[in-house]
Amino acid sequence: MALLPILHLPDPRLRQTCAPVTQFDAALKHLADDMLETMYAAPGRGLAGPQVGAMQRIFVMDTGWKEGRPSPLIFINPVIRNATGTAINGEGCLSIPGHPVRIARPAVVQLAWQDLAGRACEGFFEGFAAACVQHERDHLDGILCIDYPDLPEPEPEPIH
């Protein structure tokens, strides 16, 4: 495995739409392993193909590893099937360091994807995992978190 360089804005590849993955082979597994290693070293919770110059519809994610509950996931050719509710989350991006945003996204998403063998998978994600899935999925279409309205911090409740 190897650490991959992470692209930063204004690299134009971050604004491109990625091609579907069609070859489910050892090279794809190697890319996914390198992406996971790079994500952990960054340290991030998700990383999409275009962030490392791989212009394919692949992203990796592990929302629990920083809390001691590692569960790495690999998503190939992901498609959001359904999305409900609304949640406001703070998001950062490894390709836009030092520029966190607060954005509204659906609170629950149903995602379909393929695994490393090309098998069809489907699952529901909620909470931070839902935001992460959507954030990384956006990268595959050249959409960045800074493209959404940056919502202000809520006003503190007055003390009476």
Structure tokens at 130: 């839902």
Active centre residues (catalytic): 136
Q: Domain ranges in the chain?
A: 12-145
Quick one: pLDDT at residue 160? 67
Chain segment 124-143, per-residue pLDDT in tens: 999 999 999 999 999 999 99
CA-CA distance, 49 to 21, in Å (whole number)?
A: 11
Structure tokens at 128: 């931070």
Contact 75/61 with Cβ under 8 angstroms? yes
Quick one: pLDDT at residue 153? 81
Average pLDDT over residues 104-110: 98
Chain segment 55-104, per-residue pLDDT in tens: 999 999 999 998 999 999 999 999 999 999 999 999 999 999 999 999 99
Quick one: pLDDT at residue 136? 98
Structure tokens at 72: 């790495």
Quick one: pLDDT at residue 146? 96
Kindly report the CATH class assigned to 12-145: alpha beta
Q: In what order do the strands lie in the sheet with 120-126?
A: 46-48, 58-61, 73-84, 108-114, 120-126
- pTM value? 0.93
